[in-house]
Amino acid sequence: MSSAGIAVSRIRADEPVISPRFFHNALDLSFAESIVVFLSVSGNMIPLRVFESDSIESVKLRIQSFKGFVAKSQKLVCGGRELSRSDSLVRDYGVANGNVLHLMLRLSDIQTVNVKTTSGKELMFEVGRYRDVGYLKKQIAQRANEFVDEDDQELLYEGKPLDDQQIVDDICKNYDPVLHLIVRRPANIRVQRVEKNLDEWSVEAPKLGRNRPYDEIAAESVLVSSNVCEKDFVLEPVVANPKAEIPSAVLEVMEKTREGLEKGNAPIRSNEGSGGVYLMQDSTGLGYVSVFKPIDEEPKALNNPHGLPITSDGEGLKRGTIVGQGAFREVAAYLLDHPSNGRRGVTGETMGFAGVPPTGLVSCLHKGFNHPNVVTHKMGSLQKFVKNDGSCEDIGPGSFPVEELHKISVLDIRLANADRHAGNILFRKDNETGRTILTPIDHGYCLPECFEDCTFEWLYWPQARQPYSAETVEYIRSLDAEEDIDLLKFYGWDLPIESARTLRISTMLLKKGVERGLTPYEIGSIMCRENIKEESVIEEIVQEATDSVLPCSSEVAFLETVSQIMDRRLDEISG
Ligand SMILES: Nc1ncnc2c1ncn2[C@@H]1O[C@H](COP(=O)(O)OP(=O)(O)OP(=O)(O)O)[C@@H](O)[C@H]1O
């Protein structure tokens, strides 16, 4: 999931933002049943008239028609809650007159840039929006070996030379620009250190041929400040229990990330995501190695770069989650994604059944992060960057192999994931086999304290209606919620009793469901609400158990009651 054009308003959603007079004018008789809300887009407040009976989808389509933002790319947040169910109504979310709707856009990070050489040859590049011109030059040098080194290239846009530090997104202004490439004959550069942090660069550029704009370049000397020897970053693993070994795949990701930072390749903030998401570069500066998500930049946290209002009660964007705990949840999803042939530490296998990328907890300091007030170390999750061809939001589910979807369904059901939309599943086509491989990412809202916001987009994909294979059933049988809770505790996250209960109940449901031959669709439907108003079956089961046991009953007795009620409900469904 991603976000880019961002609502930046400090006005709280429950504060009236318009004068009574405006209301009087805005609400004439023909609109007696409508309400006026305010759309916060990039700091601007735009009044928007909606009906309480409008669906969220139709509000998004309206925004699309007058602002041009594709409905699919929109994310609306009101009163600290994401209006995530497209078919639910404005009134279901309690949106009222004068409320502020924060609009966040999910824009692709990738920008197409066309490069035209002086001989008229055209090359197309797809680069990250937040890459700079220097990076683009490296790509040009790599793509066509008839071109000389990146240092000899000059890129022009609308006749003006571009600096290496200029960001692609700043040049592009919503369309695919054509840049003109000029290759200079190699200049002779000599660097001499005159004192600490101060180098003297002597550049002797030879005269170039006619029609070249750099004919005038003559020998010159410039003084350039450099910090090449200074280490201006910190990256350390966060270890809560020295006895808990960091998985080898996570250590490798940390090491490669450190190498990139050491080479001066700064974190690049992703255009996507409602929180601060940084793409960490490798040592060559040509690829990404990991993704860092600091806890203080989560949605509703103090330093969120997208200007979402700060939490007033500590609750995250999804019910039953807490702002600042996203990183623990990301790490938990990797730790609990056990390999299919056993447990990670024992088998030596690094990848789990569902393929959650290796993820660890780190403390990181870099001036490129969003910390407007103080420069401090940031704690957050560091996840291996997975090469991909896009997210499942970009293509229809027809080509996804059944087992690829099933592995993600097992993970989501177990962890009661409250944020499984198609943008959080990356896809990649394997060149050799031609198979599509799915990778689940973004687990900051798993293991919530209640089931209210569980949503699984895959529920509506045809593969979800096929039964689990024998191997998957075997894997599900091997799961043990108590072992999982102990594992997380060993790694330093003592799950709150409510989240531990969620894990126990959802594991119980998954196991009982497959024993009755239920499909991912059938089990998933028990966990998800059909609409925002009506409780899901799992919520009804929990409520019935709560009503049946004495308030002083133990957790074991409560879970035993849940188990009995669940058996009855599952028999009704499967019978
Ligand atoms: N492990 C990864 N490998 C490759 N790309 C990734 C990875 N993790 C995140 N990304 C990229 O970064 C983007 C934002 O990440 P992510 O969805 O985790 O952020 P978020 O703020 O939690 O988003 P959301 O608004 O969906 O909750 C993703 O859409 C994806 O393009």
- CATH code of the domain containing 166: 3.10.20.90
* DSSP-assigned letter for residue 501: H
Q: Are residues 47 and 118 in the same domain?
A: no
Distance CA 460, CA 469 (A): 19
129 falls within a domain: yes
Q: Give the end of a domain, one of 77, 105, 133.
A: 105
Q: Are residues 208 and 179 in the same domain?
A: yes
Could you tell me the two tokens for 47? 């009044």
pLDDT band at 42 (very low <50, low <70, confident <90, very high): low
Q: What pLDDT does residue 371 have? A: 74
208 falls within a domain: yes
Q: Which residue has the higher pLDDT, 181 or 529?
A: 529
Count structural domains, the chain: 2
| Verdict on whether the full-model pTM lies above 0.80 | no
Mean pLDDT of 321-345: 94
170 falls within a domain: yes
ipTM over 0.95: yes
4 lines ligand 1 (CB under 6 A): no
385 lines ligand 1 (CB under 6 A): yes
Neighbours of 498 (CB within 10 A): 12
Ligand 1 atom with the smallest distance to the CA of 326 is 22
Task: Give which of 538, 510, 331, 516 is closest to 410, Cα–Cα.
Answer: 510
390 falls within a domain: no
Contact 102, 108 (CB under 8 A): no
Q: Are residues 100 and 127 in the same domain?
A: no
Distance CA 370, CA 366 (A): 9
Question: What share of the chain has pLDDT > 70, as a percent?
Answer: 82
Q: Give the end of a domain, one of 197, 225, 253.
A: 225
336 falls within a domain: no
The strand order across the sheet containing 436-440 reads 390-391, 425-429, 436-440
Closest-CA residue, ligand 1 atom 10, reads 291
Ligand 1 atom with the smallest distance to the CA of 317 is 27
Q: Are residues 126 and 40 in the same domain?
A: no
Least confident of 117-131, 324-338, 421-435: 117-131
Closest-CA residue, ligand 1 atom 15, reads 273
Q: Write out the residue range of the structural domain in which residue 101 sits.
A: 20-105
pLDDT band at 29 (very low <50, low <70, confident <90, very high): very low
Q: Are residues 147 and 211 in the same domain?
A: yes
441 lines ligand 1 (CB under 6 A): yes
Distance CA 507, CA 400 (A): 25
Q: Are residues 34 and 114 in the same domain?
A: no
Paired sense of beta strands 160-161 and 359-366, if any: unpaired
Q: What pLDDT does residue 9 have? A: 31
Q: Are residues 45 and 77 in the same domain?
A: yes
Question: What share of the chain has pLDDT > 90, as a percent?
Answer: 51
204 falls within a domain: yes
Q: Give the end of a domain, one of 205, 225, 245.
A: 225
Could you tell me the two tokens for 452? 């209210």
82 lines ligand 1 (CB under 6 A): no
Ligand 1 atom with the smallest distance to the CA of 388 is 4
Task: Give the chain's largest Cα–Cα span.
Answer: 92
201: burial class by Cβ within 10 Å (0-12, 13-18, 19+)?
middle
Q: How far is the CA of 262 from the centre of ligand 1 (A)?
A: 24
Residue 77's φ and ψ, nearest 5 degrees, are -125, 130
Q: What is the pLDDT of residues 2-21, one digit of tens each?
A: 333 233 233 333 333 333 44
492 falls within a domain: no
- Enclosing H/E stretch for 526: helix 520-527
358 lines ligand 1 (CB under 6 A): no
Q: What is the pLDDT of residues 182-210, one digit of tens each?
A: 665 443 434 454 554 444 444 343 333 33
Q: What is the pLDDT of residues 137-177, one digit of tens each?
A: 888 887 765 556 777 788 888 777 888 888 887 777 656 66
Q: Are residues 62 and 167 in the same domain?
A: no
Distance CA 395, CA 398 (A): 9
362 falls within a domain: no
Q: Are residues 125 and 101 in the same domain?
A: no
1 lines ligand 1 (CB under 6 A): yes
Q: Are residues 132 and 78 in the same domain?
A: no
pLDDT higher than 90, residue 541: yes
132 lines ligand 1 (CB under 6 A): no
Q: How far is the CA of 272 from the centre of ligand 1 (A)?
A: 7
128 lines ligand 1 (CB under 6 A): no
193 three-class SS: strand
Task: Give which of 376, 441, 381, 374 is closest to 238, Cα–Cα.
Answer: 381
